[in-house]
Amino acid sequence: MQQLNILSELQCDALAEVFNIGAGRAALSISEIVNDEVKLSIPCIEVKKSTEINAEILPLPNERFGTVHQDFSGPFEATAMLVFSEENALEIVRDMMGSQMSLEELVEFEQEAMCELGNIILNACLSAMADMLSISLSSSLPCYTITSCAEVINTITGSTDQDYVLVLNIVFTSVKRQSEGHLILLLSSTSLTNLIKHIDRFLGNI
Amino acid sequence: MSLPNYVLEDVFNAINLGLIIVDAEYNVLFWNDWIFKRTHIKQAEAVSHKLDSVFSEPLSVTFLNAIKNTLEYGLPTVLSNALHRSPLPLYDLSLQTDEKTRIPQAITISPLQSQQGELYCVIQVTDSSTSIKREKMLRSHSEIFKREANTDSLTGIYNRRFFDEHYKIAFHSAIRQQQYLSIFMIDIDFFKDYNDYYGHLKGDETLRAVAQALKSQLFRASDLIARYGGEEFVLILPDLSEEQAEKFAEKLKNSIFNLAIPHVNSSLFNQVTISIGLCAGIPQEEYDILGRADAALYLAKQQGRNRCVMLSLL
């Protein structure tokens, strides 16, 4: 099978840097809210054709996932999805709320809090991208859903005009635990080309 | 066809949602009736003033940062009630009390851009009280159900279902920590005869009295008593030596004897007594500690009742 090298190593590094700056900003905001140190890092980044996406990129395929998604637009358009396993999402939210409530009792608040958490992370990554690539982006309101792995995959592969997927692993570390999730950007080939153009411009300026 | 502007303003005032619009300099441009009703600050008093100077109380840093970020990057921000409770000083002013507590809120801040390119912020506020009330009600219901599901309705102590769950946990924890575990199987002597003679109502009363007397012997949070079946009770106590466990069984036996509940059909003492089967030891996965305690109880019955028999784990 032909291996697609859609992004060069340099472009990949630049993009990883942009997202890590965003993750840093998000961690700062979250730390302020929870009054405790929270770290966020994005150790790896991959670009794939959306048809290549299968259950392998999301570990534990039988689990249910909490997904926050926002559609954003600007020089390029994308659907950004932050995906955590439902269990991890609940644990993070419970830590943030510092409550004694048990997981199953959180249902109503969980949705709102998770939506905010996703909004913080996605906005921070988008604003870091806007700053570093000198662009301006706008976005829809965040929306939180609980879905199965198959549904997440379907969203990715079923999006007909968004042929490319940017997959970032995201590691959330708080005093109590470390959780892993994914940040997924769905892009059309035009949007990917535009994104690459802006990365090259950014690389040319440094 | 489109709505004239003055109708739009009426619409904004009619909706059941707080609406504040500020410009890029944080000046209030619009303030709907919903906000007025919860602050008693009129739109006219708020418009053209900086948002953080309109209220008599300071606004939270996270709320101001959220507006700043929305204006700076043009990205919408949500502030959930779960993480922020009440960012704005809004009160239920229809209540005629001096006590002032802020309305719990959820806030959405969206950027708006005019055709001339100026940025605005639309701040939407929803009252979360109803959902919090609903959540609290559901939670208290679920607590009641949980308690009921685990309680024996006659005696008020734990039921068999809860015991079975607890037993599994205690058993594996004892294996893991290489700790002693003691199981006491208890049966009221000649209880069938008691019921036949005194009737079921009296029988129920005695079951309750025995359950309470046994329960009153427990002092550690780790110890548990449950109704195992008809007139059978089970106690599970971790971390007691065999000697301590035997002493404790003696105390249990005496606590029932000392109740001195008359039982003319008991061939023993003409009063209610119990037999106890005890098994104590450091368990391993394959050991049947419950079965051994049950076998010990059988022996206690055989050996004359009103006594405790202990069997080792093997």
Chain B positions touching A29 (Cβ under 8 A) are 65
* B82·A97 Cβ contact <8 A: yes
pLDDT of residue A173: 86
Question: Residue B120's closest CA among B215, B26, B56?
Answer: B26
Helix A86-97 with A107-132: angle, nearest 10 deg: 90
Residues B94 and B222 in one domain: no
Chain A positions touching B77 (Cβ under 8 A) are 119, 123
Q: Is B117 on the interface with A (CB under 8 A)?
A: no
- Residue extents of the structural domains in chain A: 9-205
CATH number reported for the structural domain that contains residue B185 in this entry? 3.30.70.270
Q: Is A174 on the interface with B (CB under 8 A)?
A: no
**At the topology level of CATH, where does A9-205 sit?**
Chemotaxis protein chec (3.40.1550)
CATH number reported for the structural domain that contains residue B76 in this entry? 3.30.450.20
Residues B124 and B195 in one domain: no
CA–CA min distance B106, chain A (Å): 9
**Is there a contact between A42 and A24 (Cβ–Cβ < 8 Å)?**
no
pLDDT of residue B61: 87
Instruction: Assess if residue B138 is contained within a domain.
Output: no
Question: Residue A22's closest CA among A180, A115, A143, A132?
Answer: A132
| Plot region of B178 (φ>0 → left; ψ -120 to 50 → alpha; else → beta) | left
Closest residue in A to B136 (Cα) is: A105
Mutate to test the interface with A, among B64, B67, B71, B75 (most CBs of A within 10 A): B75
- Answer yes or no: is pLDDT of A8 > 90: no
Mutate to test the interface with A, among B83, B109, B120, B121 (most CBs of A within 10 A): B83
Cα–Cα distance between A178 and B187 in angstroms, integer? Answer: 50
Confidence category of residue A1, pLDDT binned at 50, 70, 90: very low
Residues B157 and B298 in one domain: yes
Structure tokens at B58: 């300071």
Question: How many residues are present in chain A?
Answer: 206
Confidence check on the interface: ipTM exceeds 0.85, yes or no: no
Cα–Cα distance between B298 and A103 in angstroms, integer? Answer: 43
Q: Is B60 on the interface with A (CB under 8 A)?
A: no
Chain A and chain B share a number of CB contacts under 8 A equal to 72
**Is there a contact between B120 and B112 (Cβ–Cβ < 8 Å)?**
yes
**Is there a contact between B121 and B74 (Cβ–Cβ < 8 Å)?**
no
- Answer yes or no: is pLDDT of A161 > 80: no
Exposure pattern of B128-156 as b/e (b: 16+ CB <10 Å)? beebbeebeeebeeeeeeeeeebbbeebe
Residues B205 and B114 in one domain: no
- β-pairing, B274-281 with B308-311? parallel
**Beta partners for B310?**
B278
Q: Is B136 on the interface with A (CB under 8 A)?
A: no
Looking at every residue in chain A, the average pLDDT score rounds to 82
Residues B206 and B255 in one domain: yes
Query: Is there a catalytic annotation at residue B72?
Result: no
**Could you tell me the strand order of the sheet in which B28-31 lies?**
B28-31, B18-23, B119-127, B105-113, B77-79
Confidence category of residue A3, pLDDT binned at 50, 70, 90: very low
**Is there a contact between A78 and A187 (Cβ–Cβ < 8 Å)?**
yes
More confident residue, A58 or A120: A120
Q: What is the mean pLDDT of residues A171-190?
A: 85
Cα–Cα distance between B70 and A101 in angstroms, integer? Answer: 32
Residues B55 and B188 in one domain: no
Total Cβ atoms within 10 A of residue A62: 8
Residues B92 and B182 in one domain: no
CA angle B228, B234, B235 (to 5 degrees): 150
* A142·B106 Cβ contact <8 A: no
pLDDT of residue A58: 64
Instruction: Assess if residue B145 is contained within a domain.
Output: no
Chain B positions touching A126 (Cβ under 8 A) are 73, 75
* B75·A127 Cβ contact <8 A: yes
Residues B188 and B306 in one domain: yes
DSSP 8-state assignment for residue B299: H
- Answer yes or no: is pLDDT of B235 > 80: yes
Cα–Cα distance between B171 and B189 in angstroms, integer? Answer: 28
Residues B51 and B127 in one domain: yes
Q: Is B1 on the interface with A (CB under 8 A)?
A: no
pLDDT of residue B4: 83
What pLDDT, in 10s, does the model give residues A83-111? 888 777 777 777 777 655 554 555 667 77
Q: Which of B25, B231, B232, B285 is catalytic?
A: B231
Residues B155 and B303 in one domain: yes
pLDDT of residue A94: 75
Helix A9-34 with A86-97: angle, nearest 10 deg: 40
- Answer yes or no: is pLDDT of B204 > 50: yes
Residues B170 and B106 in one domain: no
Q: What is the mean pLDDT of residues B228-247?
A: 95
pLDDT of residue A88: 79
Cα–Cα distance between A117 and A176 in angstroms, integer? Answer: 17
By CB atoms closer than 10 A (0-12, 13-18, 19+), residue B49 is middle
pLDDT > 70: what percent of chain A? 87
Q: Is B77 on the interface with A (CB under 8 A)?
A: yes
Domain that holds residue B68: 5-133
Cα–Cα distance between A170 and A40 in angstroms, integer? Answer: 7
What pLDDT, in 10s, does the model give residues B55-73? 989 998 889 999 999 998 8
Question: Residue B306's closest CA among B278, B264, B270, B276?
Answer: B276
Identity at B236, one-letter amino acid code? I
Q: How many folded domains does chain B comprise? A: 2
pLDDT > 90: what percent of chain A? 19
CA–CA min distance A110, chain B (Å): 8
Q: Is B224 on the interface with A (CB under 8 A)?
A: no
More confident residue, A175 or B53: B53
pLDDT of residue B266: 85
Cα–Cα distance between A71 and A64 in angstroms, integer? Answer: 22
Closest residue in A to B138 (Cα) is: A105
Cα–Cα distance between A92 and A40 in angstroms, integer? Answer: 12
**Beta partners for A186?**
A79, A165
More confident residue, B271 or A146: B271
- Quote the strand ranges of chain B, DSSP E: 18-23, 28-31, 77-79, 105-113, 119-127, 181-188, 224-229, 232-238, 274-281, 308-311
Q: Is B111 on the interface with A (CB under 8 A)?
A: yes
pLDDT of residue A102: 52
pLDDT of residue A60: 57
What pLDDT, in 10s, does the model give residues B84-111? 888 999 998 877 777 788 898 999 999 9
Closest residue in B to A118 (Cα) is: B78
What pLDDT, in 10s, does the model give residues B121-174? 999 999 988 877 877 788 788 888 888 999 999 999 999 999 999 999 999 999
pLDDT of residue A105: 52
Residues 6+ away with beta carbon under 8 Å from B52: B26, B58, B59, B64
Whole-angstrom CA distances from A29 to A23, A33, A38, B61, B130 are 10, 6, 9, 11, 28
* B75·A136 Cβ contact <8 A: no
pLDDT of residue A33: 79
Q: Considering the entire predicted model, what is its pTM?
A: 0.68
Q: Is B78 on the interface with A (CB under 8 A)?
A: yes
Cα–Cα distance between B154 and B59 in angstroms, integer? Answer: 55
Total Cβ atoms within 10 A of residue A42: 21
What pLDDT, in 10s, does the model give residues A184-204? 888 888 888 899 999 999 888
Chain B positions touching A28 (Cβ under 8 A) are none
Cα–Cα distance between A119 and A125 in angstroms, integer? Answer: 10
